Amino acid sequence: MLIVGLTGSIGMGKSTAAAHLRARGLPVFDADAEVHRLYAGGKAVEQIERAFPGTTTQQGVDRQRLSAALLAHPQRIRELEAIVHPLVREAERSFLHAEARRGTPIAVLEIPLLFESGADRMVDAVVVLSAPADVQRERVLMRGVSPEKLDALLARQMPDAEKRQRADFVVDTSVSVEESRATLDTILEALRARHGAAFKRFWSA
């Protein structure tokens, strides 16, 4: 089984690309969705409350309170990541084992912090979604994200230029959706010709 890491900074079109790959029949693990599950009553809630008192409710983690706590103390993001990343990695492993049992030829891990978390070393190929900074900023601000929050998010992420350098494949998402999808289809054909070693090396235990 070939494991593909799909990544890109905020506002680069990861969800659109993942939806296209699913439409092409590829299973995609969404790390952000897993974090949402962990925050909504999952294993992370109790640990986050201990580390960041007052940031959870009976419904789970209050993302606004947690964001406020992190904006006030940005250096504590590492503490949060130390709680969340291992739990997400556990879910990724379960997903990959299930796909391996099905005989799936290609499985995709959609991970926003692929490089930052070191997960790029645990996949066979990396696809980076990219767009110019002004396009990215416009997209994210249109979602209602404040400029301050966007700047804080970008400060925690590897620069887009470095991600492009380290990628096996880059998809320009500043063009039309159709053009981006065509690029993804071309990449998919190249991936189908590859053989994967990452599952046995990093995930099979």
pLDDT band at 24 (very low <50, low <70, confident <90, very high): very high
For residue 156, what pLDDT is reported? Answer: 85
- The pLDDT of 155-175, averaged and rounded, is 96
More confident residue, 127 or 152: 127
Q: Which of 3, 2, 1 is nearest to 109 (CA)?
A: 3
Whether 19 and 120 share a structural domain: yes
1 assigned ligand-binding residue: no
CA 23 remoteness from chain centre: 19
200 assigned ligand-binding residue: no
Whether 133 and 158 share a structural domain: yes
Mean pLDDT of the chain: 96
Whether 41 and 123 share a structural domain: no
Query: Would 83 be classed as within a structural domain?
Result: yes
On the question of pLDDT at 205 being above 80, the answer is no
Whether 116 and 193 share a structural domain: yes
Whether 191 and 110 share a structural domain: yes
pLDDT tens by residue, 93-113 = 999 999 999 999 999 999 999
Tally the domains of the chain: 2
- The pLDDT of 7-22, averaged and rounded, is 97
| Domain at 1, CATH number | 3.40.50.300
**Of 66-70, 103-107, 133-137, 138-142, which range is least confident?**
66-70
Whether 70 and 117 share a structural domain: no
Range of the domain at 95: 32-103
On the question of pLDDT at 134 being above 90, the answer is yes
Whether 115 and 91 share a structural domain: no
43 assigned ligand-binding residue: no
For residue 172, what pLDDT is reported? Answer: 98
Query: Would 203 be classed as within a structural domain?
Result: no
For residue 122, what pLDDT is reported? Answer: 98
Whether 120 and 178 share a structural domain: yes
The answer to whether 3 and 107 have CB atoms below 8 angstroms apart is yes
Whether 125 and 185 share a structural domain: yes
Whether 126 and 189 share a structural domain: yes
Q: What percent of the chain has pLDDT over 90?
A: 92
15 assigned ligand-binding residue: yes
Can you give the three-state secondary structure of 40-55, one letter per residue? CCCCHHHHHHHHCCCC
Q: How many CB atoms lie within 10 A of CB 74?
A: 12
- The pLDDT of 168-194, averaged and rounded, is 98
For residue 186, what pLDDT is reported? Answer: 98
CA separation for the pair 23, 109 (Å, rounded): 15
For residue 74, what pLDDT is reported? Answer: 86
pLDDT band at 80 (very low <50, low <70, confident <90, very high): very high
